[in-house]
A and B are shown apart, each in its own frame.
Chain A
Amino acid sequence: MTVLDELYEAVLEGDFDLTPGLTRRGLDAGFDPQTLIDDVMIPAMAEAGRRFEDDVYFVPELLSSGRAITAGLDILRPLFAAGGARRVGRVVIGTVQGDLHDIGKNLVAVMLEGAGFEVIDLGTNVSPAEVVAAIREHRPQLVGLSALLTTTMLSMPSIIEAISSAGLRDDVRVLVGGAPMNEARAKEFGADAFAANANAAVRAALELVGAGPGR
C-alpha cells in the first residue's frame, strides 16, 4: 500500500491519530498539498459520504472521518498560507439564535474545510447582528445556517432578513439545514439552498460557489 492509499484508508476509517503522520509522509514523498487534498482526502470523504447515504456510515463515522481530514489539513494549512494552494471559497457558518445544538453544524464545518473552503465558525445561538457583522468582516461567498429544533428554525428567516436589510443579500448565498428543515421551508425562509445532511451540504456549497460538485 502506498502512502496515498494509507492516507485514504485513514480518512475513510476515521483514524484521526494516523492522518497527521501520513500527511507528513505524503509531503516527504514529494506530493504537493493540493494533490493530497484533491486526490486523497476529498475522495475518501466522498466515499464516507456515499457510505452515509447507504446506511453503512452514520453521524459518528462521518464525524470521525471529518476529524481525520481536519487533522491532516492542520499539517497542510501552513503551506497554504505560504501560497500556492487553491481555496474554493469562504463560508460563515453557525447554529441560529435560541439553538445550542452544534453536532450537525460542526460536522458540516469540518467537511466544508475538507472540501477546500475557508470556514469561519460563529458557534451556536448566533444572532442576526452577528451574522451581518461576520459577513462585513470576512466577506464570505456563502453563509451556512443550522437549526435542530422546530422552534428555533424560525430564527433563520430573521437572519436572512437582517442580511437583506444590511444590503448584503446579493453578496452571499445562503445554505440552510437541520432536522426540521426541508426544501420548501428553505425557500419560504428566503435561503438559496437546503441540504438534508452534511454530505449534501458540501455538494450544495460547491455548487453555490460555482466550484461544481465534489468528486
Chain B
Amino acid sequence: MAANLIRELLARGPVLTDGAWGTQMLARGLPPGQFPDLWNLSHPDRVEAVGRSYVDAGSEIILTNTFQANRFALRDAARDVVAINRAGAQISRRAAGERVKVFGSIGPTNTMLVSGDVDKDELRAAFNEQATALAGGGVDAIVIETMSDLNEAVLAVEAARVTGLPVVACMTFDSGRNKDRTMTGVSPAQAAEGLAAAGADVIGANCGVGVDSAAPICAALAGATDLPVWIKANAGLPELVGREVVYRMTPAEYAGHVETLLAAGADFVGGCCGTTAEFIAAMARIIR
C-alpha cells in the first residue's frame, strides 16, 4: 500500500513539493534561536499560512513544521513532542485541503551515535514516537530529512515504516573536498544503497549546498537506485548584508535549474533554505 501513493503521485510526471519553512517562520516573526516547531502550539495560524502559501503556489506535497520535533532536538520542550507533531500534521492538513498531500517531516536528533552519548534503541524510540504522532495527526507519508549519519537515517526509516505510510529518506551532502559527502562521509551511492535496504520508498538529498551544485548529487543517487529521487536544494548560499541574512538567488534563477535536476533523474523537486512560495510558483511554471 505504501508505494501506491508514490506511484499515483508520479503517474503524471515529476511532482512539485514545497519550499522552506524555517526561514519563512523567521520572516513571520519567529525570534532567531527559537524552535519553529513550538509555533505549532503557540502560533498555529502563522504556521498554516506558510503551508497555505505553498499550496497556493502549486505544491502538490507540503511538509509539516516538525523538523526538530523529536525528544532529543527539542531538549527542554521534549515533554510536548507528541502534541507538537500532532498539531504540525493537523495544521498542514488544514492548509493542504483536499488535493495536496501532507508529508510529515522528521529531522536529525543532533546527537551522534559514534560519540556513545546515545544508543540505537534510544534513537529508534525517539523516531517511533515522532512518526507515530505524525501518523496520528493524519499525514500521508513521512519524510526523513537533512540526515548526516547513515546509521541514524536507517533507524529513522525503520521507525517510520512501522506506521505503514510511504517513507522518503534524504541526506544532506555538504562535506568533503567536493561537497558531495555527508558530514559523516556518506556518498550518494552509499546513501542510496543503505536507505533502500532499510525500506525507503523514495530517496533523496535536501539542504546542503545550493541548487546549482545539486545535479551531480542527484545523478549519483539516481544512478545507484531504481527508487524515485527527491531533491530539495537551497537557494544558493546565503550572504550577509549588514546584519541581515540574504539568499540572493532569485526564484527564476532557482527554477532555471529544474530542467537540469529532472534530466539528472529527480522525480520530486522543491526547495530548502531560502526558498519561498515565489520559488515554488516559478518551478510550477517550468514543470507544467
B238 touches A150 (CB 8 A): yes
Nearest B-chain residue to A184, judged by Cβ: B240
What separation, in Å, do the CA atoms of A54 and B14 have in the docked complex?
37
With a cutoff of 8 Å between Cβ atoms, the chain B residues found around residue A97 in the complex are: 33
Q: Nearest residue in B to A59 (C-beta to C-beta)?
A: B183
Give how many B residues have a beta carbon under 8 Å from the other chain's beta carbons. Answer: 26
Task: Name B185's contact: one of A58, A151, A179, A185 (CB within 8 Å).
Answer: A58
Would you call A162 an interface residue if the criterion is a C-beta within 8 Å of the partner chain's C-beta atoms? no
**Could you say which residues of chain A place their CB within 8 Å of the CB of B240?**
185, 188
Minimum Cβ distance to chain A for residue B69 (Å)? 14
Bitwise, B105-133 to A at CB < 8 A (1) or not (0) is 00000101011100000000000000000
B288 at the interface (CB under 8 A from A): no
Which single member of B33, B110, B148, B245 contacts A125 (CB below 8 Å)? B33
Residues of A within 8 A of B (CB): 55, 57-61, 63-64, 67, 97-101, 103, 106, 125, 150-152, 154-155, 157, 179-180, 185, 188
Q: Do residues B181 and A60 form an inter-chain contact, with CB atoms below 8 A?
A: no
A50 CB to closest chain B CB, in angstroms?
A: 13
A154 to B245, CA, bound (A): 9
CA distance in complex: A57, B185 (Å): 7
**A-B interface pairs (CB < 8 A), number:** 60
Q: Is the CB of B181 within 8 A of A103?
A: no
* Contacting residue for B32 out of A59, A154, A157, A180, CB 8 A: A154
Nearest chain A residue, comparing its CB with the CB of B175: A58
B177 on interface, CB distance cutoff 8 Å:
yes
Contact B245 A60 (CB under 8 A): no
Contact A101 B32 (CB under 8 A): no
B99 close to A (CB within 8 Å) = no
B230-286 CB contacts (< 8 Å) to partner A = 238, 240, 243, 245, 273
